[in-house]
């Protein structure tokens, strides 16, 4: 019994007419951020695209997730600002309660953190992905300290 039809040549390893990874230099610099972001969020977008890990981004498959990430970062910044202005609100029975924005911040933080880990945006994430940044090298003791979450020197 014959197997499933084969894909056209090159599809298993990406298109033959373009590189599998779109390096920032290959896409004409930093991609435009989504419209309507805060200035500091745009700065974070630009900082990511200026990093070494951005060189491993394939825009066709990763671009949408990175846009979601930066929109979540922007929403986090806006929500945090609102939460700081009013940490407590009146509950349904008139009792003081924590502003529901706190729950939204927690959800956004989890989503943002997951994306940052996946894209190597933290030192430990880069280490897990096997990305060496610059000439920095960690000793075994430093790796263990990071892995255990022990910030003590």
Terminal C-alpha separation, the chain? 64
Of 140 and 94, more confident: 94
Lowest mean pLDDT segment, chosen from 6-20, 51-65, 111-125 = 6-20
Q: What is the pLDDT of residues 101-152, one digit of tens each?
A: 999 999 999 999 999 999 999 989 888 877 655 434 455 566 667 777 765 5
Cα–chain-centroid distance for residue 24?
16
Mean pLDDT of 11-20: 38
Give kind and range of the element (H or E) at residue 96. strand 96-98
For residue 9, pLDDT beyond 60: no
Mean pLDDT of 35-60: 94
């Amino acid at each position: 019994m014959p197997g499933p039809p084969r894909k056209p040549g090159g599809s298993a390893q990406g298109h033959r007419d373009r590189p599998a990874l779109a390096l920032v230099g290959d896409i004409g610099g930093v991609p435009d951020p989504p419209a309507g972001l805060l200035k500091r969020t745009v700065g974070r977008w630009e900082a990511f695209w200026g990093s070494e890990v951005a060189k491993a981004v394939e825009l066709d498959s990763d671009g949408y997730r990175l846009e979601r990430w930066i929109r979540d970062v922007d929403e986090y910044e806006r929500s945090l600002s609102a939460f700081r202005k009013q940490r407590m609100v009146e509950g349904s029975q008139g009792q003081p309660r924590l502003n529901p924005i706190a729950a939204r911040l927690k959800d956004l933080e989890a989503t943002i953190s997951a994306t940052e880990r996946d894209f190597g945006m933290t030192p430990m994430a880069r280490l897990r992905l096997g990305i060496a940044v610059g000439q920095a090298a960690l000793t075994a003791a430093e790796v263990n300290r990071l892995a255990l979450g022990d910030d003590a020197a």
